Amino acid sequence: MKSRVMMIALTTLTTALPLVADAQSPTVCADAIDQFTLNACAEQDYRTADRRLNEIYGKVSARLADIPDSKAALVRAQRAWIAFRDADCDFRASSVVEGSVYPMIHSSCLAELTEARSTALQSLLNCEEGDLSCPAPFD
């Protein structure tokens, strides 16, 4: 009995792994129809958005290297934003928390809010010289 369960688990795993790897392909995601692939694609979208956010955050933080109070404020703001994002996405996906669609809904929310935060931080890197409302000084 144990060997049969192990064989089923191994077969499932070896069948699923290529699908997870393929979920990174835009073609696979565009044509996805099964929930497993849709979930994996949504997770990949979030990871891509998170990498972009970390890159932009690093640039903003670097601009504030000589302004410790502003840099500390950025860190506080980012931590508060992460707490908000996570709580908001938990709320948005709360009606499907027990369902197979939950990972897709939750990851899609994380990606959406993370992309919006990236856009907001990117705008700080594009301030015009002399813009007093911009905490990241012109480079």
Q: How many CB atoms lie within 10 A of CB 64?
A: 19
Instruction: Identify which of 12-21, 25-34, 40-49 has the greatest average pLDDT.
Output: 40-49
Which has more pLDDT, 22 or 44? 44
pLDDT reported for residue 136: 86
Confidence (pTM): 0.80
In a domain, 103, yes or no: yes
Q: Give the total number of structural domains in the chain.
A: 1
Q: For 74-86, what is each residue's pLDDT tens digit?
A: 999 999 999 999 9
In a domain, 69, yes or no: yes
In a domain, 117, yes or no: yes
Q: How many CB atoms lie within 10 A of CB 23?
A: 20
Task: Give residue 71's domain range.
Answer: 34-125
Residue 46's nearest CA partner among 116, 123, 108, 137 is 108
